[in-house]
Chains A and B, each alone.
Chain A
């Protein structure tokens, strides 16, 4: 990834607040990069400055953090390049401060063969983010036969998932867990009981009743999660629960961890921050509350049936948001992942019931999540840990740290810069976000990948 000129260049980033949860570092500091790796990092003054080093002095108010690691992104290629390509997705990642993207296999063809994995890795070559494919659990994500997991692991898969088409068969899930265990890779489940959820399009609750939309009940998630946790108990295999959205799911994972099961879990920014009331244009929940505090005025009402609020699992209640944040704070939830799900305008410019599920999330994640930091609900170091070190640890990825020897994947952001969400400016082809027009505080200034700057804000 590094070019010849930069291959052995030595660069010192200094002056900003350096936060590296992998070594408990949070201080005005410096990071010394040589070639594609970090050779030293620590509080300013503890890092010696060798001769010939290129020094980059950063404002003291900025934050230097490990490049963010997204365990859940849909890059749509191959098959749905109108929604996103691996290159545009990686550019969106760079703009959002993400340097590693684990991409879901619900492409066309599905990532269920060595050929598709190699194709993805080939296309991702030279992209401004590392792309790590997740392979399908079952052939074609059809939920019937296991994919060739051994070969897929060898080819470079970092996990297995039938995301988008969750595994309904308990037997198949048991087999997947057992078979994947010796490969050392986690099985990732989008917890959804299809039979119960049916064609539900939003959270089953008051708002769905008011809007006359088919509900997606909370139990649709907890039933599948509870089943999976029992299968983990049976097989001892590593399991990762994708995008938890309901309070009950947090409780289940908390209990499973207490029992010592090898389980990790993620939450998305939108499930942490937005509620089902957004579907009715009523902006409630943590993001709205935080922005009201930060700006001193309530958030303007949105439109009803905004299809950009349609996501799977759906936006839930304020109580669920609170439970998810509690889970994040007490370590029940390990990771924040975007579930970046870009779609074309045509996929979303239709009736709510007909619209595609998904939110384009890479470029708004940091700004949206920082509202929790600015209002004192989430320590900045915890936010950074859940975006970098913890996801890397959960799946054993070489990423998410600023320690000597780590890859020089670095995100530098100004936590106080206000900016407006303008999807037209997104690098992602997916302009589908419910945050259009909102002012957020906190913006990525620079993104470094393997010792090379791949993005700098204008």
Chain B
């Protein structure tokens, strides 16, 4: 599927494989039925073909993919189907994956390599520019039904996904817990089966249950995008945070990034740790010990960055002053009132006294440090209003960047859907 946007009078053409425009690559070659391929993807394809031929020579592979490839003849568009046949072409698939060309589901960031993250952030930058023109639409998801399946209330994330989906050309519909059969006790499995029967090919899910997106991914032919599951993950939030940071401080490699607050119950923190450490940042977790997850540091040190095998740098610093010292970014997390009732905190008052992000404390960080918050904020609890709305705050920009990140994420999975369908 080609992706085109109107850019004044001039047409912009996109590579059907990686999505880059004619301006971003040396050469863009047109094929039949409005498909295009750039010189970079041609190079990749010949690499895959060589790889497969090597396999054929060593006799390690069965003939299925080979036959398919021969059938495809010289038509460039068929190369995707061949290269991405999941069963028969695992080697090629991993080669594609390394280049971030394929990812049907975005569920968590634990297995994302720096290359993949970079590719997505780069695409988000393109989307961010496109957003400046409210008339711009991509047709990447044209003819596809995208469902925002939200089992938890959320304005920010749902609207962000909805706008992103529409910009990418999808037919977007929202299902919220209060308005659906989920309140009548229908299982997630049945709900997803119903949505699929109604034509949904992209499901964006928000659930209070960790692992709900994994479960959906096992059932559907289409794609799953995690919009936050339990305490586990919120990948697009982490990606937009990373994107926002880079726009202000450049590469996060070697930077001190403090995540402050209720890390135990935070999916935002978990996904951010994966993404930030993969990009080489040093993450400092600061929270009362009752709100820190068990064996956190051991967990991340036991799981080095994919592709590079670089160790992930995560430390815990329960003293806020020490944590903030020299910080490049401070990300405050929302504190829920229930934590006090659950016996995890003496009081919100004490939390604010000991862990609230105040102007005085922020002064310990670098002079150009950024202040972030995934929202919604409890101003006056975890963050002082003067900080939330101060010069260092990029909290509103996070929201805008969220749409661009989600557009890039949708584009990524759209590529995998196309590949899967052999279009």
- List residues of A whose CB falls within 8 A of some B CB: 204-213, 215, 217, 303-305, 346, 349-354
Q: Give the nearest-CB partner of A351 in chain B.
A: B209
Q: How far is the CA of A211 from the CA of B233 in the complex (A)?
A: 8
Report which of B187, B294, B303 forms a contact with A208, defined as CB distance below 8 A. B294
Interface size class of B (residues with CB under 8 A): 20 to 34
Task: Tell me whether A349 and B189 are in contact (CB under 8 A).
Answer: yes
Task: Tell me whether B294 and A303 are in contact (CB under 8 A).
Answer: no
Task: Tell me whether A213 and B294 are in contact (CB under 8 A).
Answer: no
**Can you sample 20 A-B contacts with CB below 8 Å?**
A205-B295, A207-B299, A209-B295, A210-B232, A210-B303, A211-B210, A212-B211, A212-B231, A212-B232, A212-B270, A213-B210, A213-B230, A213-B231, A217-B294, A303-B214, A303-B218, A304-B211, A305-B211, A349-B187, A352-B211
Task: Tell me whether A351 and B294 are in contact (CB under 8 A).
Answer: no
Q: How far is the CA of A211 from the CA of B212 in the complex (A)?
A: 11
Given A211-B210, A346-B187: A353 and B294 interface contact (C-beta under 8 Å): no
Which of chain B's residues 250-307 have a Cβ closer than 8 Å to chain A? Answer: 267, 270, 293-296, 298-299, 302-303
Chain A residues with CB under 8 Å of B249's CB are: none
Task: Tell me whether A351 and B211 are in contact (CB under 8 A).
Answer: yes
Nearest CB in chain B: distance from A309 CB, A: 11
Q: Give the nearest-CB partner of A215 in chain B.
A: B294
Q: Top 7 A-B pairs ranked by shortest CB distance?
A: A212-B232, A305-B211, A212-B231, A351-B209, A212-B210, A209-B293, A206-B299
Q: How far is the CA of A353 from the CA of B232 in the complex (A)?
A: 12
Given A209-B299, A211-B210, A212-B231: A350 and B187 interface contact (C-beta under 8 Å): yes
Q: Is B328 an interface residue (CB 8 A)?
A: no
Chain B residues with CB under 8 Å of A205's CB are: 294-295
Chain B residues with CB under 8 Å of A304's CB are: 211, 214
Task: Tell me whether B187 and A204 are in contact (CB under 8 A).
Answer: no
- List residues of B whose CB falls within 8 A of some A CB: 110, 187-189, 207, 209-212, 214-215, 218, 229-233, 267, 270, 293-296, 298-299, 302-303
Chain A residues with CB under 8 Å of B299's CB are: 206-207, 209-210
Chain B residues with CB under 8 Å of A210's CB are: 110, 232, 270, 299, 303
Task: Tell me whether A209 and B211 are in contact (CB under 8 A).
Answer: no
Q: Give the nearest-CB partner of A281 in chain B.
A: B214
Chain A residues with CB under 8 Å of B212's CB are: 351
Q: How far is the CA of A212 from the CA of B266 in the complex (A)?
A: 8
Q: How far is the CA of A385 from the CA of B5 in the complex (A)?
A: 74
Task: Tell me whether B207 and A351 are in contact (CB under 8 A).
Answer: yes
Chain B residues with CB under 8 Å of A303's CB are: 214, 218
Chain B residues with CB under 8 Å of A305's CB are: 210-211, 214-215
Task: Tell me whether A354 and B110 are in contact (CB under 8 A).
Answer: no
Task: Tell me whether B232 and A211 are in contact (CB under 8 A).
Answer: yes
Chain A residues with CB under 8 Å of B207's CB are: 351
Task: Tell me whether B229 and A212 are in contact (CB under 8 A).
Answer: yes
Given A212-B229, A305-B215: A352 and B210 interface contact (C-beta under 8 Å): yes
Task: Tell me whether B298 and A353 are in contact (CB under 8 A).
Answer: no
Further pairs besides A212-B210, A212-B233, A213-B231: 12, Cβ < 8 Å: A209-B270, A209-B296, A209-B299, A211-B210, A212-B267, A303-B214, A303-B218, A304-B211, A305-B211, A351-B209, A351-B211, A351-B215
Q: How far is the CA of A90 from the CA of B322 in the complex (A)?
A: 63
Chain B residues with CB under 8 Å of A354's CB are: 209
Chain A residues with CB under 8 Å of B232's CB are: 210-213
Chain A residues with CB under 8 Å of B230's CB are: 212-213, 353
Nearest CB in chain A: distance from B43 CB, A: 31
Nearest CB in chain B: distance from A58 CB, A: 42
Given A212-B229, A212-B233, A305-B214: A353 and B209 interface contact (C-beta under 8 Å): yes
Q: Give the nearest-CB partner of B211 in chain A.
A: A305
Report which of B110, B209, B270, B303 forms a contact with A352, defined as CB distance below 8 A. B209
Chain A residues with CB under 8 Å of B233's CB are: 212
Chain A residues with CB under 8 Å of B298's CB are: 206
Chain B residues with CB under 8 Å of A215's CB are: 294
Q: How far is the CA of A209 from the CA of B215 in the complex (A)?
A: 19
Q: Give the nearest-CB partner of A353 in chain B.
A: B209
Q: How far is the CA of A217 from the CA of B293 in the complex (A)?
A: 12
Nearest CB in chain B: distance from A218 CB, A: 11
Given A212-B229, A349-B187: A206 and B302 interface contact (C-beta under 8 Å): yes
Q: Give the nearest-CB partner of A354 in chain B.
A: B209
Chain B residues with CB under 8 Å of A204's CB are: 294
Q: How far is the CA of A204 from the CA of B211 in the complex (A)?
A: 17
Q: Give the nearest-CB partner of A345 in chain B.
A: B189
Q: Give the nearest-CB partner of A209 in chain B.
A: B293
Nearest CB in chain A: distance from B96 CB, A: 20
Chain A residues with CB under 8 Å of B110's CB are: 210
Chain B residues with CB under 8 Å of A206's CB are: 294-295, 298-299, 302
Chain B residues with CB under 8 Å of A351's CB are: 188, 207, 209-212, 215
Nearest CB in chain A: distance from B86 CB, A: 15
Nearest CB in chain B: distance from A102 CB, A: 33
Q: How far is the CA of A217 from the CA of B211 in the complex (A)?
A: 20
Chain A residues with CB under 8 Å of B214's CB are: 303-305
Q: Give the nearest-CB partner of A217 in chain B.
A: B294
Nearest CB in chain A: distance from B362 CB, A: 28
Chain A residues with CB under 8 Å of B188's CB are: 350-351
Q: How far is the CA of A211 from the CA of B218 in the complex (A)?
A: 17
**Which of A207, A208, A304, A350 lies at the interface centre, i.e. has the most chain B CB atoms within 10 A of its CB?**
A304
Q: How far is the CA of A305 from the CA of B209 in the complex (A)?
A: 11
Q: How far is the CA of A206 from the CA of B231 in the complex (A)?
A: 14
Q: How far is the CA of A304 from the CA of B224 in the complex (A)?
A: 15
